[in-house]
Amino acid sequence: MTYSKFEDDAAVVAFVRAHTDQFTADEPLHVEEIGDGNINYIYRVKGNEGSVIVKQALPYIRIIGTDWPLSIDRIRIEAQVLQTEAMWAPNFVPKMYAFSAEESAFAMEDIGDHENLRFAFIERHPLPSLGEHLGLFLAETLFHTSDFYLDYETKKRAVANYINPGICKITEDLFFWDPYCDHERNSISPPVLEAAQGLWNDKALKIEVTKLKRQFMNCSEALVHGDLHAGSVFVRADSTKVIDPEFAFYGPMAFDIGSIIGNVLLNYAGQFGLAGPKNERDDYQAFLLGEIVNCWSAFHKRFTDLVAEKSDEPTMSQPDYVQTFLADVWCETVGFAGTEVIRRTIGLAHIADIDSIDDIELRAKSERWALALGREMIVNRHSISSPDALNAIALALPY
């Protein structure tokens, strides 16, 4: 089958009318393409009152084109993951309305009353429940898709169902290889080149990154979101929604937790380059570090409670095992967070938190700070035993 982009607005409208009952038959619909992501096409379809979002995947990466082919099975995976997440964490994901394999597209709830977390961070919007919400989302989705909850057969069939090779290869390359060598995909600002070269020549670091890569490739622990950066989260003061699980697969729980914590720390780094009084920056950075603590605490507590309430697997439900397990997950979380911090600073896919700093020298200070923090997190993850210990490192690292 050949998959092609919706030809025009009428095709998007026809898709929505054929697959959902969100609009009346005679209601005029307006289509707007709103996607600013790297990979797919996203449309908002508005009626007289309501609206829906349509997402379409094509057999290649949108920002690169047909030179980088990518299986459209990712859209099937994304639709199924959104439905699985909705079973366990319904408040934290948009509702899925319909999926069509023929058009490699789905329609879902419009969460346009929320704003993207990346821009909320850059604007320093107050988000008092962010860490707690993310921790709960992670505990519910990761516990209920793991061996702590699923029986042996269901779990293994789920691992097979979510095999996502082309997508995982993107992460294997962009997180665990490109930033550690002089790769053509990297994007390195000239004043940061020397610091990047320091990483390329850092044998101890590269061995530790390879250990994390092995973990990413071989630890089929839970159905992870797989791309939990700030752009995949939408927020209001009282609500948090996680979108875009097209990178989902059975991987290490710590990869998700580390990805989002890495993004909090990247925004922390970007705060150094924002204008405004120092006390306001200090306050916002303190808020960010507090949300790392809140996220891990909420995850830890909810996961521990879920094991006590629902886990009957005889070995994993042994008293006290979960605390050993969570200590290991924290250690890996710190390492994966470090890889996210580094790859967003000198790899292919940068982030606005740092790239929007206009002054190249000021931006380079944030970038060098991020590289130093990321390295420390990867190499010394075994001795960074808690979120407080991690935050102490961020506070002590000179800018």
Residues near ligand SR1 (CB under 6 A) are 38-39, 61, 170, 174, 227, 229, 348-349
Q: Collect all residues with Cβ–Cβ distance below 8 Å to 293 and sequence separation of at least 6.
A: 131, 387, 388, 391
Short-list 317, 298, 311, 361, CA closest to 135: 298
Which of the listed partners (ligand SR1, Mg ion, none) does 225 bind, with a CB threshold of 5 to 8 Å by partner kind? none
Q: How far is the CB of 255 from ligand SR1 (least distance, A)?
A: 12
d(CA 255, CA 212): 9
Residue 256 touches Mg ion, criterion: CB under 5 A: no
Q: Which residues, numbered 30-69, are part of the site for Mg ion (CB under 5 A)?
A: 37
Q: Which C-beta is closer to ligand SR1: that of 209 or that of 322? A: 209
Give 220's contacts (C-beta < 8 A, 6+ positions apart).
159, 250, 251
Q: How would you class 398 by CB atoms within 10 Å of its CB: exposed for 0-12, middle for 13-18, buried for 19 or more?
A: exposed
Please tell me whether residue 244 binds Mg ion under the rule CB under 5 A: yes
Choose among Mg ion, ligand SR1, none what residue 174 binds, the Cβ cut-off being 5 to 8 Å by kind. ligand SR1
The smaller minimum CB distance to ligand SR1, of residues 18 and 63, is found at 63
Question: Which structure tokens are listed for 380?
Answer: 């010394």
Position with the least CB separation from Mg ion: 244
Return the residue matching tokens 């420390």.
376
CB of 334 to ligand SR1, least distance (A): 19
CB of 37 to ligand SR1, least distance (A): 6
Cα(46)–Cα(62) distance, integer angstroms? 24
d(CA 181, CA 315): 42
- Of 92 and 330, nearer to Mg ion (C-beta) is 92
CA–CA distance, 236 with 226 (Å, rounded to integer)? 23
Smallest gap from Cβ 61 to ligand SR1, in A, equals 5
In contact, 12 and 6? CB cutoff 8 Å: yes
| CB of 336 vs ligand SR1, minimal distance in Å | 13
Please identify, using beta-carbon distances, which residue of 55 and 381 lies nearer to Mg ion: 55
Per CB under 5 A, does 332 bind Mg ion? no
Our CB check for ligand SR1 shows the closer of 38 and 356 to be 38
Among ligand SR1, Mg ion, none, the one that 349 touches (CB under a kind-dependent 5 to 8 A) is ligand SR1
- Smallest gap from Cβ 396 to Mg ion, in A, equals 33
- Radius of gyration over alpha carbons of the chain, in Å? 21
Give the residue with the Cβ less far from ligand SR1, 295 or 348: 348
User: Vertex 377, ends 372 and 378: CA angle to 5°?
Assistant: 100
Q: Provide the strand spans (E) within 50-112.
A: 51-56, 60-61, 65-69, 96-100, 105-109
| Residue 61 near which of Mg ion, ligand SR1, none (CB within 5-8 Å, type-dependent) | ligand SR1
In the complex, minimum distance from the CB of residue 203 to ligand SR1, in angstroms, rounded to a whole number: 25
Q: State the DSSP string of 6-23.
A: --SHHHHHHHHHHH--SS
- Of the pair 13, 77, the CB lying nearest ligand SR1 is at 77
Q: Which stretch binds Mg ion (CB under 5 A): 29-37, 134-142, 207-215, 313-321?
A: 29-37
Nearer to ligand SR1, 242 or 298 (CB): 242
Which residues contact Mg ion (rule: CB under 5 A)?
Answer: 37, 244
